[in-house]
Amino acid sequence: MSVTWVAPGRVNLIGEHVDYNDGLVLPFALPFTTTAWVSARDDDRISVVSEGVGSEQFGVDTVPGDVEGWAAYVAGVVWALRGRGVEVGGLDIQISSDVPIGAGLSSSASLTCSVAAAIDDEVGGELDRLAIADVARTCENDYVGAPTGVMDQIASMLCEADRALYLDCRDLSTSSIPFDLASASLTLLLIDTQVHHALVDGQYGDRRAQCQAAVKALGVPSLRDATMEQVLGLSDETLRRRAHHVVSEIARVEHVVAILEAGRPADIGAFLTASHESLRDDFDVSCTELDTTVDAALSAGALGARMVGGGFGGCAIALCRDADVDAVRARVGSAYESNDWKAPTIWTPLPSAGAHPVL
């Protein structure tokens, strides 16, 4: 027997840097996916072949530190599954992916979720989708050593076509929110700046520490529990700005969800732009390329635009009426050309299906 699973990358429509503050997020799945083919073998070895990348073998009893590089994401899944009591024997695994790497679109979650779902299916299908997402996150956190939150893997497993996933990062409850762009004559541009500033990793850790310092200063369980009045009373300016972003961003997510549920997707644009301004001014995680991208898109008629992801590079999104797409593309491209920057990559992804088996 052999099984095949596909799992997508994701982009977060709104709700940035709030997942580790027990906040609310609204990701949707991209049409970019990783496919994992899995079949049993009669020994205790895992053989992995990744198309265009390479091959690797390791034992089913792998532990953190055994395997490094891209194959660690597969070895970590095997390790995390076995840690949950799933009986994983020898396997042949083949992997293929078209999720852009390094653009902040969760290529790693796409990989770990597709492999985890395929292996679980091959050995008997013991786990539900949330459990598979947790296996994938455990792999990244504890085997690979990547400090991801819960959003990426849950989005990859639970998203639906033409919908966004409303996720409460405190209790992991979810609901599916209408986000049918085509029916509303809207296009969401996904713009890869193709830059990634080296300071991002340390700055990410700093932001988490500052949020925790604000929590301590406010005496609340998390910034999810803080009121804006409390935040504005913080004496430390940096902590006040960091907390201001988190509290206001969670409120923006709630507004966007209400607007989408009311069937008015064109009206979310102002909240996307406000999110970018908050990430730029209060959270200090934007950069010249992201700000230029957002400003160019808005000046050409985009309804709203913002950076997405951790910041300091990566991607931005711009919500446009279909009639304005060409003008926005041209204005963004012209802005990059005038700055002598490498041309951005621009996609027009529709909200797509989450992980699923291929029969």
288, 289, 292, 298: CA torsion to nearest 10: -130
3-state class (DSSP) for residue 182 = helix
Check: CB of residue 159 under 8 Å from CB of residue 115: no
**Rounded CA separation 39/35 (Å):** 13
Cβ atoms within 10 Å, residue 292: 19
Q: What is the C-alpha end-to-end distance of the chain, expressed in Å? A: 12
Asked if 282 is an active-site residue, the reply is no
**Rounded CA separation 159/104 (Å):** 17
Cβ atoms within 10 Å, residue 341: 16
Pairing of β 174-178 and β 163-168 = antiparallel
Check: CB of residue 100 under 8 Å from CB of residue 108: no
Active-site position among 19, 120, 134, 152:
152
- For the sheet containing 313-321, what is the strand order? 304-307, 313-321, 186-196, 345-347
Which token pair is 350? 């529709």
* Cα atoms in the Cβ-side hemisphere of radius 13 Å centred on 41: 14
**Rounded CA separation 215/194 (Å):** 34
Residue type, 195: V
Which token pair is 21? 């503050």
**Catalytic residues, which ones?**
152
